[in-house]
Amino acid sequence: MFECEPPPGGAGVGWNPHACGATAAAGYGCQLSTMVRAWRDLWRASNGAHDDDDDFAVGVVQLAGGTSEGHAENMGAFRLAQTANYGMLPNAAMPRTFLAQAYDAGEPWQDESSKCAATTRGGSSAAGAFGAGASPPWACVPSAGDGTSAFTPMFMGSIHPRPKRVVGERLAAAARAVVYGDEAQIYTGPVLAGCKVVHAAHHSPFSSSVWIDIAFNASLLRGDAVVAWHAEQGGANALTWTGPSGQFFAPGEYDSPMEVQLNNDSWVGVQILATADRENIDPAALVAGTATLPPNYNVITVSAGIDASANITGIRWAWGDNPCCPRLSRSMVPCPVNSCGIGTVNSSLPAVPFVARIVGGRCPTSPNPIDAHRAL
């Protein structure tokens, strides 16, 4: 039950839920859509609007990475539930609503004990890899005490992530498109449209012969393009780290934001083929903008990395609590915003989390992704 007062006057509201609701998992979708209808009923009553007036807009912030409060196994289903179990906003159950992804905008560091403080509590340098006296990225303790620092102090670790501006920018973009009707405004990251298992020769640098081509909704790209960033741009693609080893990478950390299900049972992390490798483009040129992708480019490929005879029965993206920066030890180095590997080139919006069944080598389309979640 929600006992919340709607805001007085105005024509819209933003909703940023607390992670304790993650215990409800997919069932939260019914609660959220009910709350939106209740707020609209109260708004109509207080403003003399018609019963069918849905002008009261509602923006939703999906739970940020690292905010599960001990319910990590529910986070994928809960983020889906934040869309009334449709996968994105707006939809039939929640018209005139809009969404900001935040799974890639969690607290960059692990907690206050991480190497993010310029000095330790005892006063000695804790800059570590950043050099003696250096202020590390996303410092836990701002260097300036007069309010001019770019970052706020950390509070209670990851449960209160500090990347706020990017979430506000995403909400504003979505409101401009959905509420104010700007048809040129890109307001969502790539949205799953379908997938196909492909048995083919290997794509360098991976030796797998089993691949999955994933297609995203081209019309929602609005001229932008889907990209899977190269491992050289932050290591977001790497299932097995091949660069420098040591203290910065921890075995057993989350392997990959992209996972496939085998034989209707176990989920395994899979490698994402960088778009630069798929299209034979210099990754640095793609970042710099001197090499470009066609407008509405909408396909990425992942390496199943398994025996060709295995039965692939499902695929999911960003389904964990804190899926970005695989195997990175966040107590030593931060995971920056927008580091999950798949998104849009120009608008820098992350791919929308999804889960889908694979039947006969393909993802069957469904008007409601919760059908796939239930089946899995």
Considering its fold, how many domains does the chain have in total? 3
How far apart are the two ends of the chain, measured CA to CA in Å?
28
Same domain, 253 and 329: yes
Determine the pLDDT at residue 112: 67
Residue 128 in any domain: the answer is no
Range of the domain at 88: 1-104+163-186
Give the dihedral of Cα atoms 49, 53, 57, 60; nearest 10 deg: 120
Same domain, 308 and 376: yes
Do 8 and 145 reside in the same domain of the chain? no
Please indicate, yes or no, whether residues 218 and 329 belong to a single structural domain of this protein: yes
Task: Let me know whether 279 and 211 are in one domain.
Answer: yes
Confirm whether 154 is domain-assigned. no
Tell whether 63 is covered by a domain. Answer: yes
* Same domain, yes or no: 116 and 219: no
For 50, other C-beta atoms within 10 Å of its C-beta total 8
26 and 93, same domain (yes or no): yes
Question: CB neighbours (10 Å) of residue 73?
Answer: 14
Q: What is the pLDDT of residue 156?
A: 73
DSSP 256-316: -SEEEEETTTEEEE-EEEPHHHHTT--HHHHHHTSS---TT--EEEEE--S-TT--EEEEE
242 lies in some domain: yes
Contact status, residue 285 vs residue 296, Cβ threshold 8 Å: no
**Separation CA 62–CA 255 (nearest Å):** 22
In the prediction, which pLDDT does 351 show? Answer: 96
For residues 109 and 126, the answer to whether their CB atoms sit within 8 Å is no
Give me the residues of the chain with pLDDT under 50, please.
1-10, 19-23, 119-134, 234-247, 367-376
In terms of domains, do 240 and 202 share one?
A: yes
Read off the pLDDT of residues 98-134 as tens digits, 9 standing for 90 and up. 999 999 998 888 766 666 655 433 333 444 444 444 4
Q: 178 and 144, same structural domain?
A: no
327/251 Cα distance (integer angstroms): 6
Q: Do 85 and 113 have their domain in common?
A: no
Q: Which residues share a beta bridge with 210? A: 199
Distance CA 151, CA 228 (A): 29
